[in-house]
Structure 1
Amino acid sequence: MTEQRSEAKTRLDTVGVAATDPDHQQPWADLGLKPDEYANIREILGRRPTSSELAMYSVMWSEHCSYKSSKVHLRQFGDNVTDEMRASLMVGIGENAGVVDIGDGYAVTFKVESHNHPSYVEPYQGAATGVGGIVRDILAMGARPVAVMDPLRFGPLDAPDTHRVLPGIVAGVGGYGNCLGLPNIGGEAVFDETYAGNPLVNALCVGVMRHEEIHLAKASGAGNQVILYGAKTGGDGIGGVSVLASETFESTGPAKRPSVQVGDPFQEKLLIECTLEIFAEDLVVGIQDLGGAGLSCATSELASAGDGGMHVWLDRVPLRDSTLAPEEILMSESQERMMAVVTPENVDRFLEICAKWDVDATVVGEVNDSGRLTIEWHGESVVDVPPRTVAHEGPVYHRPFARPSWQDALQADRAEDLPRPATGEELKQTLLRLVASPNLCDKSWITDQYDRYVQGNTVLAQPEDSGMVRVDEETNLGVAVSTDCNGRFAKLDPYAGAQLALAESFRNVSTTGARPLAVSDCLNFGSPEDPDVMWQFAEATRGLAEGCRALGVPVTGGNVSLYNQTGQTAILPTPVVAVLGVIDDVTRRTPSGFVAEGQQVYLLGATREELSGSEWAHVVHGHLGGTPPRVDLAAEKELGDILVNASRDGLVDAAHDLSDGGLAQALVESCLRHGIGARVWLPDDLDAFVALFSESAGRAIVAVPRSEEVRFTDMCAARGFPHARIGVTDGRGEDALLDVQDQFSVSLGELRAAWSATLPAALG
C-alpha cells in the first residue's frame, strides 16, 4: 500500500508541475470537452489544468451539470414569475430544490430529475440511484422526504429491449423507495417506439419542513469545517451521469457499466435520519448532497455560493478503493454521500450524531476567505481554481435552432381525416382495443411493486389522477402532486405540447380538490447539436414559461436531460411537468372513481373534433400528424377553480380529468375504480366517435349527488363554464354496465379483463 501511494505521488500532476509543463498532452476530448472549452480553462487558470482540475471542469461543464445548451432558454422561467406567484415561493430556481409555503408554518420542497442513460446501461441501479439522488436533493433543503413518484417512458411493449430494461427499472425504483420507507404515490408508464434504446426514468420526491428549517447549499464563515459524511467513495460512477447524460448513445457501441452508480438504500436511510437529527440541533451552516459530479460539484458549488474560499484535504476522503487517483475521487459519483459546513464548536456534536447512526463522517476541508478552491493530496496542491468558474461560470451556448423543414408536412397530415368507426359495435370494439393498449391499460403490474401507503399518510395514490399525502395529522393539511406529458402532442407542436402537459398536470391536481401552487419540470429532449431538436426545446420552454405565468404557478426548479437519442433517432420531445397543489383538509379530497349509484355524471368543458396525436390515432392507425388539441389556459384555470371549490363545498363525490383516450377512457377508469356502472347519453351536437374519443383539453367528468345538483350547476352557470349532464351512475359489480345509450353496452367485467391483461401477458 505504501509503495502504491509512493508511486502515485511521483506521478502526481500538481499545480506546480502544471505551471512548468505547459505542453503536457491531456485527454480533454475523451472527457467530453470541446477544443474551445479546454482553451478557456487554460485562459482562466493562466496555465494548463492539472489532471484533477481537468476532471473537475470536465464533469462540471458537462451538459448534465452546466446546462450550457439550455440555460439561455431556462431564464424565461424566472422572467415570467409575477409578484403574486412569488408570494408563496420561498426558494426558487438555483438551489437543490424549490420550496413553497403551504400555510400553517409548513413548507414543501419538491423536484423531478432524470436518470435516463444510466438506466439504459444498468436498469436496476440506474433507476435505484435516480431515486436516491432526488431524495438527497430534498433532504439537503432541510426537509423530511415523504413521497416519491416515477414518470417512466419505454420503447414498444413487445420490443425485446423493453423486456430487458422495464423489469429492472421498475424493480430499481420500487426496491430503493421501498427500502427507504417512502410511498410511491404516482407517475406514468408510457410506451413509444422513439424511446427504444433510450428509456426515460424521471424521479420526483416531495419533502416537508417548517419554515425555519430551510437549509441552503453554501459554504460561509472562514474557519468553518467541511465534513463529508455517508458512504465511502468508490470507483463506481466515475464520471457517471455527468458523462453518460452528455452524449448520444450509438445504436452499436460498448456498454458503459462502470459509469453507473451503485446504490445502498439502507445506507441512505441512515443518512436521512442522521441528517434530520443534525438539522434538529441546528448544527450546519450549509449543506449539499453529492450527486452528479460528486465531490467536484459539492466543493465547487458550496464554495461558489458561500464566501468563495475553501481548502480541501482530498487524502482524508474515506475510500472503498485505495487505488483511486485524486481525479477519480473528484469524479466519482458514489451514492449516499453528503457534505456539510459546520462551525468549529459544533463539529464534535456533529460527529457524535453520525457515529450514533453508524454513518462515517470526516472533516475534509475548511472554509476560508481566499476566493479560491484549493485541494491538496498528501501535502501536494492538485487544485487551485476560482470556484465560480467551475460551478457557475461554465460555457453558455446559443445553439442554432430553426423550425424543422418537415414540421409543416407533419401538421398537415391530420388524424381527423383517418377512417373512423361508425356503428355502435365498431365503437365498442374500438373502446376495448384502446383500454387494452399499453398506454391506457392497467399499470398495477408496475405499481404493485411499490409500497404506496408506508408512513400512513398517503391519501391518494395510483391509479388516482394525483397522488396526495397528509402533511399535518392534526389539521389534515396536505399536498397533491401529478406528473404529465404527451410527447406526441409536443412533437406536433412543442409550444402547445408543453402547455398541454402543464394543463393536464394542473387539471389532475385540481380534480382532487387541491389548489395548484407550483411547478417542477424535467425537460427530456434529443441532441442539442441538432437545430430541429433545439427548436423543439426552445418552443417547449417558451410555452411552459408563458403557460405557468397564465396559470399563476411558478417553476421552482427541475432538470434538463438532452442527448436522449440513439444514433440519429431522437425521442419524442418530452417536457414532463409536475404540479404540486395544497389542500386544507385531505378528508375532503375528491377521488377519481365513482363511489355510489344514482349520482349525476356531468361533463365539464367544451369538446371539439381533436384527434391528432390522440391515443386512438396512435393505437388504431399507428399515425402521428396534425396539430394537437387547442390550449385555453383561461378555461383551464376556470375549470381548476370549479373543481377545487366543488370539492371543498362537498358538491362532487368523484372527479376525473379527460386526457389520453378522451371521455371513453375517463368513464372506463371511473367505473372500474370501485365497480360502479354508468348509463351515458352523448351530446346531440357531436358525432358519437368524437364525443367518446376526442382528446380536447380543459375537460373533466364529475359525479354529483342529487342533493347537490342545483348548487353545482348554479356554480358552473354563474361562471359561464360549459357543463352538461351526460349520465347517471347505475349498477354495482362486474355485471354492471357502461351503457352508452343508442350505441353499445359493455360489462365492467369485460372491460376489466381487457384493461388488466396487457402488462401481465407481455411481462409475465
Structure 2
Amino acid sequence: MSALAELTLSIRQGLGLAHKRDIAEVVERLYGSHAPRGNLTPDAPASRTAKRFSLHSDAEHRNDGLTPVGDDCAAIPDGDGYLLLATEGYLNDFVASQPWFAGYCGVMVNVSDIYAMGGRPIAVVDALWSDGANQAKPILEGLATAAQIYGVPVVGGHSNLRNDRPQLSVAILGRAKQLLSSFAAKPGQQLLAAIDLRGHFREPFIWWDASTGAPPERLRQDLEILPTLAENGLCASAKDISNAGVVGTLLMLLECSGLGAVIDIDAIPRPEAIEMERWLCCFPSFGFVLAVDSENSTAVIKRFSQRGIACAAIGLTDASRKIRLALGDERQTLWDLDEQPLTGCGLITASEV
C-alpha cells in the first residue's frame, strides 16, 4: 500500500470522522426527511446562496423559519443581518483530565465558530456540572480567562456542583452582516487553508495550541479577518477546522455544498518536523478552510499572511461529489458522497426536490 493510500485510510477510519458520522443519526432523529437544507437545481446555480438562507414559507416544509443545518452556527435572519447561535459540548475525559483548558476551549472554540460564519461574538452562557466547588474551580478559571482574552462576556448559564463527575457545555450568540457558509461553495473555486503555526501540541494530545500565551489583541485581530472577507465580498464559504482535521473539515464543507474536490496534501500549511498524519488529524486553535473564487485567492491569502498566519491554496472544487487526495501524481479517493453521506447535511439535489 502506498503512503498516500495509508494516509487516506487512516483519515477515513479515524475518530475525527467517526464523530462527524454520528451527526447523521442526530439529524435523522430530529428532522426525519425534513431537515432544513439548501436546494441545488441544475437550472439555477447562481441563486443557490439565496435559496439556502431563505425562510421556508411553503406548506411542504415542516421546519418553517429554519435555515439549513450543517454549518458552524445556526444563522437566523434578523433585520439587515443574521443572529448566529452555536454550542459546544466536551467529552467527559477531556474535562476531567484538562479542566482549565476545557473551560478555556469553551469560549475559544465557540468564538471560532462565530467568526467562521463571518460574524462577531456577543456573549456566551455555560452549563457546568461537577462533584463540588473545588472540581469546578479550574474549569471556571479557564472559562473566565478565555472570556477576557477574546473579549466575550459570560452572561449566564447553569451550574450543578453535586454531580458525580465534571461536565461542560458552552453556547454562544453572535451576529453577522454577511455570511460565510459551508453551503456557499461553487465548482471551480480554490480551496484555501489558513492555520496559525505559531503554536505547539498540548502533548500527548493532538490539539495545536496557538492561543494560550499569545497576545490577546493579536488573537482578536486575527479572527477579524473572517468577517472582513465576507463583508468585502472576497469570500462566501468557510468553516473552522474541527477535530475532524483539515481534510475532514473540507469534506464537511463540500458535503454541504454538494461538491467534490482534489486536495493537494503537500500544499497544506504545516510546521516543520511535524508528522503529516498527526498534523492532518489535529485540531488547531486557529484554523479555517475557505472556498474562494480564483481571482480573489491572492488577496485572501495576503490578508492572512499579513497577520503572520500561514495560508495556501490546497485544492480545487468540482462537481464530482468525490473528495480525492493528491500526493505528487498519485490520487486516492477519500470519500464518495454519492455512495455515502458523512453528516447527512448536504444539499437537496434536483432528484430529491
Q: Please, what TM-score do these two structures have when normalized by structure 2?
A: 0.75
CA contact (8 A) 1:601 1:702 kept: yes
2:74 is aligned to: 467
RMSD between aligned alpha carbons?
Answer: 3.0
2:168 is aligned to: 575
Structure 1 residues 674-683 or 536-545, which shifts more? 674-683
CA distance 1:535–1:592, shift in 2 (3 Å):
farther
1:738 is aligned to: 324
2:231 is aligned to: 648
Superposition map of 1:385-534 within 5 A: 423-434=3-14, 438-448=18-28, 449-450=30-31, 452=36, 456-459=64-67, 461-472=68-79, 476-487=80-91, 488-525=93-130, 527-528=131-132, 534=133
CA contact (8 A) 2:255 2:337 kept: no
SS of aligned partner of 2:306: helix
Superposed displacement of residue 425, structure 1: 2.0
1:719 to 307, 315, 321: 307
CA distance 1:493–1:467, shift in 2 (3 Å):
same
CA contact (8 A) 1:482 1:578 kept: yes
Distance in 1 (alpha carbons) for counterparts of 2:207 and 2:293: 34
Distance in 2 (alpha carbons) for counterparts of 1:703 and 1:435: 25
Distance in 2 (alpha carbons) for counterparts of 1:422 and 1:556: 52
Superposed displacement of residue 721, structure 1: 2.8
Paired residue type of 1:465: D
Paired residue type of 1:740: A
Distance in 1 (alpha carbons) for counterparts of 2:121 and 2:331: 37
2:349 is aligned to: none
Distance in 1 (alpha carbons) for counterparts of 2:331 and 2:236: 26
Deviation per residue, 1:567-625 (Å, 9 max, x gap): xxx3xx332121111123xxx3111246212212221123567486xxxxxxxxxxxx6
Deviation per residue, 1:31-73 (Å, 9 max, x gap): xxxxxxxxxxxxxxxxxxxxxxxxxxxxxxxxxxxxxxxxxxx
CA distance 1:513–1:690, shift in 2 (3 Å):
same
Superposed displacement of residue 540, structure 1: 1.0
Superposed displacement of residue 443, structure 1: 1.8
Paired residue type of 1:482: A
CA distance 1:609–1:751, shift in 2 (3 Å):
farther
Superposed displacement of residue 560, structure 1: 0.9
1:749 to 326, 336, 340: 336
Which structure is larger by alpha-carbon Rg, 1 or 2? 1
Of all paired residues, the percent bearing the same amino acid is 19
SS of aligned partner of 2:209: coil
SS of aligned partner of 1:441: helix
Superposition map of 1:201-280 within 5 A: none
2:158 to 559, 566, 571: 559
1:544 aligns with 2:143: yes
1:698 aligns with 2:286: yes
Superposed displacement of residue 466, structure 1: 0.6
2:46 is aligned to: none
CA distance 1:756–1:503, shift in 2 (3 Å):
closer
**How many residue pairs were aligned?**
304
1:677 aligns with 2:260: yes
SS of aligned partner of 2:158: strand
Distance in 2 (alpha carbons) for counterparts of 1:437 and 1:481: 23
CA contact (8 A) 1:440 1:660 kept: no
Distance in 2 (alpha carbons) for counterparts of 1:536 and 1:660: 26
Paired residue type of 2:182: S
1:338 is aligned to: none
Superposed displacement of residue 550, structure 1: 0.9
Paired residue type of 2:123: A
Distance in 2 (alpha carbons) for counterparts of 1:422 and 1:696: 27
2:195 to 605, 630, 636: 605
Distance in 2 (alpha carbons) for counterparts of 1:423 and 1:628: 24
Deviation per residue, 1:128-177 (Å, 9 max, x gap): xxxxxxxxxxxxxxxxxxxxxxxxxxxxxxxxxxxxxxxxxxxxxxxxxx
SS of aligned partner of 2:260: strand
Distance in 1 (alpha carbons) for counterparts of 2:25 and 2:100: 34
CA distance 1:426–1:748, shift in 2 (3 Å):
closer
CA distance 1:543–1:560, shift in 2 (3 Å):
same
CA contact (8 A) 1:671 1:738 kept: no
CA contact (8 A) 2:206 2:283 kept: no
CA contact (8 A) 2:9 2:334 kept: no
Distance in 2 (alpha carbons) for counterparts of 1:627 and 1:664: 15
Deviation per residue, 1:74-115 (Å, 9 max, x gap): xxxxxxxxxxxxxxxxxxxxxxxxxxxxxxxxxxxxxxxxxx
Paired residue type of 2:151: G
Deviation per residue, 1:537-572 (Å, 9 max, x gap): 11110111111111111111111134443xxxx3xx
Distance in 2 (alpha carbons) for counterparts of 1:673 and 1:752: 15
CA contact (8 A) 1:672 1:752 kept: no
Paired residue type of 2:175: V
Paired residue type of 1:518: A
Distance in 1 (alpha carbons) for counterparts of 2:243 and 2:341: 17
1:596 to 180, 186, 191: 186
Superposed displacement of residue 733, structure 1: 3.4
Deviation per residue, 1:169-190 (Å, 9 max, x gap): xxxxxxxxxxxxxxxxxxxxxx
CA contact (8 A) 1:679 1:741 kept: no
Superposed displacement of residue 456, structure 1: 4.6
CA contact (8 A) 2:11 2:17 kept: no
1:632 is aligned to: 211
Distance in 1 (alpha carbons) for counterparts of 2:115 and 2:340: 30
CA contact (8 A) 1:548 1:555 kept: yes
Q: Which has the higher contact order (CA 8 A, sep 6+)?
A: 2
Distance in 2 (alpha carbons) for counterparts of 1:438 and 1:497: 21
Distance in 2 (alpha carbons) for counterparts of 1:606 and 1:669: 21
Superposed displacement of residue 471, structure 1: 2.0
CA distance 1:627–1:665, shift in 2 (3 Å):
closer
1:287 is aligned to: none
Distance in 1 (alpha carbons) for counterparts of 2:226 and 2:105: 18
CA distance 1:652–1:629, shift in 2 (3 Å):
same
Distance in 2 (alpha carbons) for counterparts of 1:455 and 1:673: 18
Distance in 1 (alpha carbons) for counterparts of 2:82 and 2:171: 16
Q: Please, what TM-score do these two structures have when normalized by structure 1?
A: 0.37
Distance in 2 (alpha carbons) for counterparts of 1:752 and 1:541: 44
SS of aligned partner of 2:84: strand
Deviation per residue, 1:274-320 (Å, 9 max, x gap): xxxxxxxxxxxxxxxxxxxxxxxxxxxxxxxxxxxxxxxxxxxxxxx
List alignment gaps of at least 5 residues for structure 2: 37-55, 57-61, 345-353
Distance in 2 (alpha carbons) for counterparts of 1:590 and 1:434: 27
Paired residue type of 2:81: L
1:661 aligns with 2:244: yes
